[in-house]
């Protein structure tokens, strides 16, 4: 059953007098717990599709349905609430808060998601997640002292600690070497499968597709028919 649907999604940008159509009517269904990869050449519209689906920018037309609710006609604050409570994000760069240590990064996410856990339970949850990603020894570390791979592990922890229904990942391995990229993809797969999180990720690295369930290729703002 599809937990997330995109119907006839259109996105256009005004470039001076010219209107450029980036998405030309995309239809997409994501099944619960499935990892879907969006691939395609640069400018094919995959990142635009991901950010609209994640509620980070408005569509010009069409619908984005999550859990039966249409995100495209929701108020900004309602979308924010859904992002905080039910979505998780992993970006190309880790985008950690530079003045918070690893533990505080994750506690912040629990706060933002409106977690009902007690202070002690939150700390325990943070410890559990950090153990899952193999970062339990860096609880007190600040982002500046972490390696690229470590930062991305913390970003993954932040994205899933509140147990979201959806995970959006925009080229999560782009800033890592191939060894670290594989580690990160393995981790994403392991965690999303164990927590039954539906994942939509954008990647341009073919090696990473082995860790996904479904691959969607985009070209000129449209989904290419599968081979």
Partner 1 sequence: MKMAWKEIQKNKARFIILGSIVFLVSFLTLIISGLSNGLSQDNAALIKDLPEGTFYLDEEADETYNLSKIDEELESDIIASYEDASALSIQMGFVNDDDDKQLSVAFVTEKEKQLFPKVKEGEVVLDESLQDNGVEVGDIVTNNQLSEELEVIGFVEQQKFSHAPVAFIHPRNYQEMYRVMEMQMVFIPGTDEVASFSGLEAFSNKDFLNTIPSYNAEQLSLNMIVWFLVVISGMLFGIFFYMMNVQKIGLYGILKAIGVKTSELFKMMWTQMIVITVIALGLSIGLTQIFSVIAPDGMPFHLTLATSVQLGLVFVVIGFIGATLSGLQIRKIQPLQAIQQGEV
Provide the binding-site residues for partner 1, judged by CB under 8 A. Answer: 51, 56-57, 77, 80-81, 83-85, 87, 89, 91-95, 97-100, 104, 108-109, 112-113, 142, 158, 170
Q: Measured from the CB of residue 190, what is the shortest distance to partner 1 in angstroms? A: 22
Count Cβ atoms within 10 A of the Cβ of residue 75 and give its class: 0-12 exposed, 13-18 middle, 19 or more buried: exposed
Q: Measured from the CB of residue 167, what is the shortest distance to partner 1 in angstroms? A: 12
User: Is the distance from CB of 2 to CB of 53 less than 8 angstroms?
Assistant: no
User: Is the distance from CB of 77 to CB of 43 less than 8 angstroms?
Assistant: no
- Residue 25 or 91: the one with the smaller Cβ distance to partner 1 is 91
Q: Measured from the CB of residue 225, what is the shortest distance to partner 1 in angstroms? A: 29
> Which residue, 22, 12, 29, is CA-closest to 64?
29
Q: Measured from the CB of residue 53, what is the shortest distance to partner 1 in angstroms? A: 13
Q: Which helix (H) or strand (E) holds 4?
A: strand 2-15
- Residue 56 or 127: the one with the smaller Cβ distance to partner 1 is 56
- Residue 2 or 97: the one with the smaller Cβ distance to partner 1 is 97
- Residue 56 or 222: the one with the smaller Cβ distance to partner 1 is 56
Alpha helices in the chain (DSSP H): 46-53, 76-86, 102-112, 119-132, 148-160, 178-195
Backbone angles phi, psi at 64, to 5 degrees: -120, 115
Q: Measured from the CB of residue 131, what is the shortest distance to partner 1 in angstroms? A: 22
How many beta carbons lie within 10 A of that of residue 51, not counting itself?
16
């Amino acid at each position: 059953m599809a937990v997330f649907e995109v119907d006839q999604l259109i996105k256009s940008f005004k470039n001076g007098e010219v209107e450029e159509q980036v998405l030309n009517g995309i239809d997409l269904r994501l099944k619960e717990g499935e990892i879907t990869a969006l691939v395609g050449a640069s400018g094919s519209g995959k990142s635009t599709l991901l950010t609209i689906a994640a509620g980070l920018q408005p569509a010009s037309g069409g619908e984005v349905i999550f859990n039966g609710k249409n995100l495209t006609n929701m108020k900004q604050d309602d979308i924010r609430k859904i992002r905080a409570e039910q979505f998780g994000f992993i970006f190309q760069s880790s985008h950690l808060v530079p003045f918070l240590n690893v533990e505080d990064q994750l506690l912040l996410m629990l706060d933002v998601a409106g977690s009902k856990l007690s202070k002690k339970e939150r700390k325990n949850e943070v410890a559990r997640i950090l153990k899952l990603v193999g970062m339990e020894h860096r609880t007190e570390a600040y982002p500046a002292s972490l390696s690229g791979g470590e930062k991305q592990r913390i970003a993954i922890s932040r994205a899933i600690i509140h147990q979201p229904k959806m995970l959006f990942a925009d080229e999560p391995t782009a800033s890592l070497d191939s060894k670290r990229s594989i580690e990160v993809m393995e981790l994403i797969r392991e965690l999303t499968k164990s927590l039954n999180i539906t994942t939509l990720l954008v990647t341009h690295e073919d090696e990473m597709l082995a860790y996904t369930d479904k691959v969607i290729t985009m070209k000129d703002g449209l989904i290419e028919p599968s081979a």
